[in-house]
Amino acid sequence: MVNKIQNITVLGSTGSIGVNTLDVIARHPQRYRAYALSANTKWNALLAQCRVHQPKYAVMLDETAAEQLKSALRTDGLETEVLCGVSALEQVASFPEVDAVMAAIVGAAGMRSSLAAAQAGKRVLLANKETLVMAGHLFMEAVAKNGATLLPIDSEHNAIFQCMPSAFKSGLSSVGVTKILLTASGGPFRRFSMEELAHVTPEQALKHPNWAMGPKITIDSATLMNKGLEVIEAHWLFGATAEQIEVVVHPQSMIHSLVQYNDGSVLAELGNPDMRTPIAHALGWPERIESGVAPLDLFAVARLDFERPDMVRFPCLRLAFEALSRGGTAPALLNAANEVAVAAFLERKIAFMDIPRLLEAVLENLDIREVIRLEDVIEADEGARVAVNAMLAEKAKC
């Protein structure tokens, strides 16, 4: 029996994960309240959410946008308090009244607030994979030290979590797990030749065959970098080595991931490709709550296909495995370089296949150091961004 309404902070509420989270919250007004919402610059979108959900706090990263939102809320007679800046994100992630935090800010920008939620001992619904990619050791340490509850939101990691025995934290071998199988749709260019990949446009890359996502993650899905980041994420979430993680291309995106056991069993989680399923699972855990997602019709699906990923045509996946094996700041360098490269591709400054070339250059030329403190991660992130921007400037001269 639910005794009180849980206060939920949604970091990145105007993005696709945030919007879906608010949809699930709205289906259960007797269980959840949107306590704090945040956005970067989209004050109009955040205003619309404030009108519906009436949170106590709204956070904007952009100062001008914060003033516009504050003025509009006053005009509407709404009492939502507007805060501004990165420190405000950390505040609303760690307020004592907050029961759970949906960490859905895309990219490195979401790392500090996700870490703040873990340090405050919250139930952390982690959709920001970069937190684990960049600072996995520090984040998992904060979760354990402060008694936080960590629940993965990525459909693949949520599926693995559902297929794992509850004692998996004692070690995969101790619970009979031999392998984690991460499924990938293969993106829109699964059948493209190297020549075709060389001429891919941003418009083509933004048309994902199965999922509706933001532009950055959609491009990452097209290069398979998203799957590479998920490999690193799975390492930290489940204590899996690189050798215990395998990527399986599954074009239908109905099986969200699988777990293989030493007795020959393989457990899979299936469902329609809708992020409200993992969101509802994490919000309600260990209970099950209604998500608004239709059950999977196996007769309509009819068939399930699987194939190995091609790491020659999609080298970003290979680079992610390499970064995981090298450890230290290598994943942070890879992630930062990718963020800059993807933005450059979307701005038509580079070609699609230049993305992995830039990433490989960063991993080859920048020093990889041990991660002892958060500053090590931040310095690596900044160094990779400077390096990629320098390479872009050189390219522009040619």
For the stretch 143-164, pLDDT in tens is: 999 999 999 999 999 999 999 9
Please give the mean pLDDT across all residues of the chain.
Answer: 95
**Fold for domain 327-398?**
Rna Polymerase Sigma Factor; Chain: A (1.10.1740)
pLDDT beyond 90 at 398:
no
Task: Locate 277 and state its tokens.
Answer: 């399923």
The sign of the dihedral angle between the CA atoms of 179, 183, 184, 190 is: positive
H-run or E-run covering 156 = helix 155-163
Residue 83 near residue 58 (C-beta atoms within 8 A): yes
The domain segmentation of the chain, as residue ranges, is 6-152, 161-311, 327-398
pLDDT, one tens digit per residue, over 277-309 is 999 999 999 999 999 999 999 999 999 999 999
pLDDT at 1: 44
pLDDT beyond 60 at 368:
yes
pLDDT, one tens digit per residue, over 15-57 is 999 999 999 999 999 999 999 999 999 999 999 999 999 999 9
Task: Locate 355 and state its tokens.
Answer: 């993305």
pLDDT, one tens digit per residue, over 207-256 is 887 777 788 889 999 999 999 999 999 999 999 999 999 999 999 999 99
Q: How far apart are CA 107 and CA 311, in angstroms?
A: 24
Q: How far apart are CA 279 and CA 288, in angstroms?
A: 11
What CATH number was assigned to the domain covering residues 6-152?
A: 3.40.50.720
Q: How far apart are CA 326 and CA 333, in angstroms?
A: 11
pLDDT, one tens digit per residue, over 321-353 is 999 999 999 999 999 999 999 999 999 999 999
pLDDT beyond 80 at 80:
yes
Query: How large is the average pLDDT for residues 99-121?
Result: 93
pLDDT at 108: 77
Q: How far apart are CA 108 and CA 357, in angstroms?
A: 21
Residue 101 near residue 78 (C-beta atoms within 8 A): no
State the virtual CA torsion across 284, 285, 287, 290 in degrees, nearest 10. 40
pLDDT at 3: 66
